[in-house]
Amino acid sequence: MTVNLEDIKQAAQRLIGVAIKTPILSSAILNERLNAKIFIKPECLQHIGAFKFRGAYNRLSQLNSEEKAKGVVAFSSGNHAQGIAYAARLLGMQSTIVMPSDAPTIKKEGTERLGANIRLYDRATESREQIAEEISSRSGAVLVPAFDDVDVIAGQGTCGLEIMQQLQALDCLPDAVLSPCGGGGLLAGVATAIKETNSSTKVYGVEPENYDDHRLSKSSGQRVKIDPPHKTSCDALMATQPGVITWSINSRLVDDFLVVTEDEVAHAISFAFRYLKLVVEPGGAVALAALLQNKLNINDACAAIILSGGNIDAQSFASCLQKFPSP
């Protein structure tokens, strides 16, 4: 199972008038600091504050009437949860979300506000996959994975398609595109859209330290699982192993994987607030962090980065600004 450019274009048609076509932005300060031309895709401005709505709506909108009547179930720490909840509400469906009890409050409240039924679980003692499967078996609800699903990947890929279309309108062909990487759904869709549009553009996945399972998988030539899990502020990127489908795509199309530290992420959040006037969550800021910390040589180049989400608690956000008051 894989995804191609035509799948992504069809997803884009389904999302017309439903998803927000987020703008492509630039910053003179960022360009000057990096001596490069940087374009920013702020998916933090998407519905529910993250790109996840794209894949959720593309998947749910294709369910038949019988499936819609039985509803959907998903497991997520927050952004996929909210994406599924909002897509289900728009399509008149019931949704149940299995969420970790320690998920950010803003994400739990957002999911509940969108009408989803929430089933909390303990990360340390319970399996979210098992709980979701039990709910699906009992109710008949369709289980929608957060990333390892071709329709979800195709929906996320519309972000990459828009990047290439928007930059083409500016007569710019990017040398590199950087995307956050958790389970790899966004990266797989974006890489497909970009490589099939222009094969010479380099695609990079960016992961937080301790959750660099894609980088480790690339080094070993097979899917690697991180065990035991670690603490990280990047709750949106806490997948411990690449998906089967996402890895089959990312192992072929992604040029390399970059890793950033917790402090580098906090610094990027502060930079985005001060200079870009954007609120970005930790998992959404990793691509910006990679550039600000020179993880990639982009001197005199043209690059695009995705700020994938903006759902951050006020306390965590304030902590980043206080730690790096002059980013």
Using the predicted structure, report yes or no on whether residue 294 has a pLDDT greater than 80: yes
Residues 6+ positions from 104 with CB-CB distance below 8 Å: 77, 78, 235, 311, 312, 313, 316
User: Sorting pLDDT into bands at 50, 70 and 90, what band is 177?
Assistant: very high
Q: Which residues contact 78 (CB under 8 A, 6 or more apart)?
A: 99, 103, 104, 106, 107, 108, 110, 111, 235, 236, 311
Does the pLDDT value for residue 273 go beyond 90? Answer: yes
Specify the pairing of strand 72-75 against strand 176-180.
Answer: unpaired
Pairing outcome for strands 95-100 and 117-121: parallel
Distance, in Å, from the CA atom of 197 to the CA atom of 189, rounded to the nearest integer, reads 12
Q: What pLDDT, in 10s, does the model give residues 24-66?
A: 999 999 999 999 999 999 999 999 999 999 999 999 999 999 9
Per-residue pLDDT for 229 more than 80? no
- pLDDT on residue 104: 82
pLDDT at residue number 108: 86
Catalytic residue among 37, 41, 52, 202: 52
In this structure, what token pair is assigned to residue 206?
């960016």
Could you confirm whether 52 is annotated as catalytic? yes
pTM given for the model:
0.95
pLDDT (0 to 100) of residue 78: 77
Q: Which DSSP helix (H) or strand (E) runs through 321? A: helix 314-323
Name the percent of the chain in helix, strand, coil, to the closest 5: 50, 15, 35
Residue 105: predicted pLDDT: 85
Selected catalytic residue, list 77, 95, 233, 308: 308
In tens, the pLDDT along 55-111 reads: 999 999 999 999 999 999 998 877 898 999 999 999 999 999 999 888 888 888 888
Cβ(20)–Cβ(45) under 8 Å? Answer: yes
In the chain, the domains with their CATH numbers are 5-49+149-323 (3.40.50.1100), 53-143 (3.40.50.1100)
Residue pLDDT, tens place only, 183-221: 999 999 999 999 999 999 999 999 999 999 999 999 999
